[in-house]
Chain A
Amino acid sequence: MTAPRPRRRISRELTRIANAPVDSVLAEIGDSAPASRPRIGVTGPPGAGKSTLINTLAAHRIGANLCDTMAVLAIDPSSPVSGGSILGDRIRMDRIADLPGLFIRSLSSRGARNGLCDNIVDLLVALERHAFDEIVLETVGTGQSEVEVAELVDTTVLIVPPDAGDSVQTMKSGILEVADIIAVTKADMPGAARMAADIGTILRARGDWMPPVVETRGDGTGVPRLSDEIDRHRAWLAEARPHAVSNARRRRYHLRALIARQAEEALSGDRHLAEGALADAYEKLTRKLGVG
């Protein structure tokens, strides 16, 4: 038997990591090495055009030699009923599907409610270990509060469709505050310029970074500018935020995520655990987890 080719080796490793229970994450996967590859997060409401944007953005960045290799992790929601999922982000990624330097992995949220999925930290680190030049993380379609993606990536791109209407108001306290760049997609539709202007009036600078608003189209119009803004933000970040700060934030996210999963594993493994008075149930759970 011959050794598996690299693509298959990477892909099997990702499966193993995605399926690892908390105990094996701690024992076998262990410390996340300090991130060494730029990460781009793409988030926004369902149907906003996240996958389409990644399709054109990856084609541009690889085509213009801004990077040679890129890994994309695209998360879709799992069914709350069956736990299964339809992972359809690839349908919109047809332009880039055959690029040799590109690796796309579709992930199920597996019940995670923050727009991400179990073990996402370890999956990102695994891709970094395989030395992809850049990593793109696409969240599930999100609302206003799924801001945790920003803790895991360097540059957060928020996608807003022109017809988002009043929902932009609701993003004011939330995802708009952590977005580094806003892309108004489907800019050939009526209302896109208005939407971009409206967002511009809501945005506030963070430090001396003023999040730019870029209009893009499905055919790739506007994407080179978006790509330039990503590079500009990356250069700014290198000055403004020491890497240790990013790593500390990621470590805190990682620990919280592991505790949440451990609690979920304990609760689903023993249905009596949640019974009785709330304070007693809490006591039982924390004792089981060995905390508190």
Chain B
Amino acid sequence: MPLDKKRILIAKPGLDGHDVGAKVIALALRDAGAEVIYTGLRRSPEHIVRIAVDEDVDMVGLSILSGSHKELVADVVSRLESEDAGDIKLFVGGTIPDEDHADLRDAGVSGVFTSEMKIETVIAEIERQLS
């Protein structure tokens, strides 16, 4: 499988009340062969970065519906860097307006996935970046 032995953290920072999208992505990644660590709801950036480091993941996927993606991403990126873990790839999914995509990429995000995208497209892009 393309993502064999790849380790991916799917995390929900902030105050979102549900995690349907995060679970859909987690299952699709598992079906592509990945080992997916899932955190559950409402985790702080500090907590997410610690999990990413302890679990030695290849990629962190943040699922954010609340609108505070810019702040949360900036926080996670700076914490990853201060843990010498800036090489861990960061993806963001959820409710992200088009006009924010470029800013998120400038901030260090390798991929922005919205709910309109087909899941196959999302998985293919993750496979490409992690191969």
Q: List residues of chain A with CB under 8 Å of any chain B CB.
A: 2, 4-5, 7-8, 11-12, 14-15, 19, 78-79, 81-88, 90-91, 94, 97-98, 103-106, 108
Q: In the complex the two chains form, is B56's CB within 8 Å of A82's CB?
A: no
> Which residues of B (13-63) have their CB < 8 Å from a CB of A?
26-27, 29-40, 46-47, 50-51, 53-56
Q: In the complex the two chains form, is B84's CB within 8 Å of A8's CB?
A: yes
Among B1-9, B64-72, B101-109, B112-120, the stretch that binds chain A is: B1-9
CB < 8 Å: which of A2, A84, A88 contacts B31?
A84
Question: A residues within 8 A CB of B55?
Answer: 11, 87, 105-106
Contact (A98, B84) CB under 8 Å given A12-B56, A86-B36, A90-B38: no
Cβ of B85 < 8 Å from any Cβ of A?
Answer: yes
A105 to B27, CA, bound (A): 20
A165 to B31, CA, bound (A): 34
> Which residues of B (73-116) have their CB < 8 Å from a CB of A?
83-85
Q: In the complex the two chains form, is A84's CB within 8 Å of B54's CB?
A: no
Contact (A86, B83) CB under 8 Å given A11-B53, A103-B54, A105-B55: no
Q: In the complex the two chains form, is A97's CB within 8 Å of B50's CB?
A: yes
CB < 8 Å: which of A84, A103, A108 contacts B29?
A84
Q: In the complex the two chains form, is B31's CB within 8 Å of A5's CB?
A: no
Please, which residue of chain A has its CB at the minimum distance from the CB of B54? A11
Q: In the complex the two chains form, is B37's CB within 8 Å of A98's CB?
A: no
Q: In the complex the two chains form, is A86's CB within 8 Å of B27's CB?
A: yes
Contact (A97, B51) CB under 8 Å given A8-B83, A86-B30, A106-B37: yes
Q: In the complex the two chains form, is A79's CB within 8 Å of B37's CB?
A: no
Question: A residues within 8 A CB of B85?
Answer: 8
Q: In the complex the two chains form, is A91's CB within 8 Å of B50's CB?
A: no
B39 to A: closest C-beta gap in Å: 6
Contact (A94, B35) CB under 8 Å given A4-B84, A5-B84, A8-B85: no
Q: In the complex the two chains form, is B30's CB within 8 Å of A97's CB?
A: no
Please, which residue of chain A has its CB at the minimum distance from the CB of B7? A15
